[in-house]
Amino acid sequence: MTNELKEIRVRFAPSPTGKLHLGNARAALFNFFFAKHIGGKFILRIEDTDLERSTLEFEDDIIESLTWLGLEWDEFYRQSARIETYAKYLGKLLNDGKAYRCFCTEEELEKERQGQIDGGSLQIYSGKCRNLSEEEIKKNLAEGKKSIIRFKSPSQKVRFVDLIRGEVEFDSSLIGDFSIAKDLVTPLYNFAVVIDDFEMKISHVIRGEDHISNTPKQILLQEALNFSQPKYAHLPIMLGPDRTKLSKRHGDTSVSDYIQQGYLPETLINFMALLGWNPGGEKEIYSMNELIKDFSLDKVQKGGAIFNIQRLDYLNGVYIRQKSLDELAELCRPYLTTTDKEQLKKAISLYQERLKKLSEITELTEFFFKDALEYDKGLLIWKDMTNGEVKEVLDKLDKILCDVEDKAWNKAKLEEILMPEAEKGNDRGRLLWPLRAALTGKKASAGPFEVAEVLGKEKTLDRIRQARAML
C-alpha cells in the first residue's frame, strides 16, 4: 500500500554514534532541498536507541553542523524519548503472533552461523524459537532466560519502486526472522524507524544507499502493522578518489572537520549537492536558494559520487572571493590572535584572491601581528651577497624610509620611491629581497611594498632595524 499523503514530510535521521559524516550531511541536504522545493516539512530525528554507542557529544556535533549548514528543521524528535510508543507496537506484534521472543544464546547463534558459513549457505536465523508454546515461553521467562524479540518474516517477495533506482525486489526468505528489539523497552533500528516514519507521517524516505537492504525489512514490518508505505529514494554512496566508500582512510570525513579547516557553509552545500545530483549543463556555482529551486530526485544519479578535494578547494576559493573584507575578517578572526580589525582587513586583502580555506590565513598573515619575528638571519641574504652588503642595503632602506611622510605611506608611494633604487644595480633582488625578508621573516609572502603598507611606517622601520641587528 503506497501512501498518497498530501503533505510532503521528510526526515533526516542520524544516529549520534559519530560526528556528522559528509555522506550523511548530503542526505540531510537532499531531504532539505526536496522538502523546501515543494513546501513540505523537514524533520530532524535523532536515532539514539543504541545506548552503548550514542553520545550527547556526537548529538551536539550533528546539531551544530546542521545549524552551521543552515538546515533548519521544522520538527525535532529524539527516539530515546519515545520508548513507550515503541513498546506499545512491540506488544501488539507479540500479541498478534507476528513477533516472538527468541531465547537462543549468543553462543548458540554463533554456532549456527558458523555452521552455515561452513556449509556455504546463507546466514539466516533458523527460526528455532518461532513456535515455542506459551508454557515454554513462560518457563523460560520465569527462569530468567535472556531473550530478544524477532519478527516473524513471512516468506514472500518484497518489491518497491525506488525513486532513484527504479524497481527493487528482495526475497524475504533470504532475510529470515530478524531481530526488532532487545526487549520491550529497547527497540532496534529497523523497528523504531518503521514506527516513527509512520507516526511522523513521513511521505518520502530519502537516505543513503547503504540502507537499501533495510528497506524490505521495514516494508515487511509496515505490512504487519498495517501501516501505509512512504516512498523511498536511496542516494548513491559517497566514494573516495580510489572509488571505495569515503572513509577516514581518505582523510577528514565529518562536517565539523571541514568547518575547522575553514571551509564555508556555502562551499560545502554547493559541493555536496553536486555529489550525486547532476542537473546537467555547465553551471557549477549554486546557492542554497537555487538548489532548493532546481532540485529534483530524478536528477540524482545512481552510481557512486566521487569526493574530489581539489574541487572543494576551488569552490571555497570562489566563495571566499565573494566575501566583503569585513565579512572575511570576521570569518578569519578565530584563526588569528590580533584584535586590530583594520590591520587584519588590510592583511587579509593581500591574500583574499588566493585563499583556499580560512585556516591558511594563520600561516599567511601571522607575521604581520607579531612584535618580533623569529627567523634565521641567512634568510636575509640574497644570492651571493655578503653580510656586509646586506647590512648596507638595510641601512639605506632605513634612511630612505625614515624620510617618507606618514600620510604618504602606501604601496604606490613606496614603490615609486624604492623601485628606482632597486633598478640601479643589475639585480633588484639585492634591495627587494632583504627588505621583504626583514619585513616578513618568510621565504614566500606578498610583495614588500604591500607588506610595508600594511605594517605601517613604524613597524616597517622597526623590522628593518631588527634585521640589521642580527647581521
Binding site for ligand GLU (CB under 6 A): 13-15, 47, 193, 207, 211
Q: What angle do CA 185, 186, 189 make, to 5 degrees?
A: 135
Helix (H, G, I), strand (E, B) or coil at 306: strand
The 10 Å Cβ neighbour count of residue 163 is: 18
Per-residue burial over 400-423, b if 16 or more Cβ lie within 10 Å, else e, is ebeebeeeebebeebbeebeebbe
Residue 50 or 360: the one with the smaller Cβ distance to ligand GLU is 50
Q: Which residue matches cell numbers 578565530? A: 334
Q: Helix and strand tally (H, E) in the chain? A: 19, 13
Distance CA 252, CA 254 (A): 6
Distance CA 428, CA 419 (A): 8
Give the CA distances from residue 116 to residues 109, 150, 339, in Å, rounded to whole numbers and listed in that order: 11, 20, 67
Residue 21 or 346: the one with the smaller Cβ distance to ligand GLU is 21
Q: Which one, of 316, 358, 350, lies nearest residue 333 by Cα?
A: 358
State the amino acid at position 289 in one-letter form. N
Q: What angle do CA 443, 258, 284 make, to 5 degrees?
A: 95
Contact 179, 217 (CB under 8 A): no
Contact 23, 208 (CB under 8 A): yes
Contact 197, 205 (CB under 8 A): yes
Q: How far is the CB of 207 from ligand GLU (least distance, A)?
A: 4
Active-site pick, 146, 157, 248, 341: 248
Q: Which one, of 225, 173, 160, lies nearest residue 197 by Cα?
A: 225
Polymer length in residues for the chain = 471
What number of CA atoms fall less than 13 Å from residue 405's CA on the CB side?
2
Q: How far is the CB of 39 from ligand GLU (least distance, A)?
A: 22
Asked if 248 is an active-site residue, the reply is yes
Residues serving a catalytic function are 248
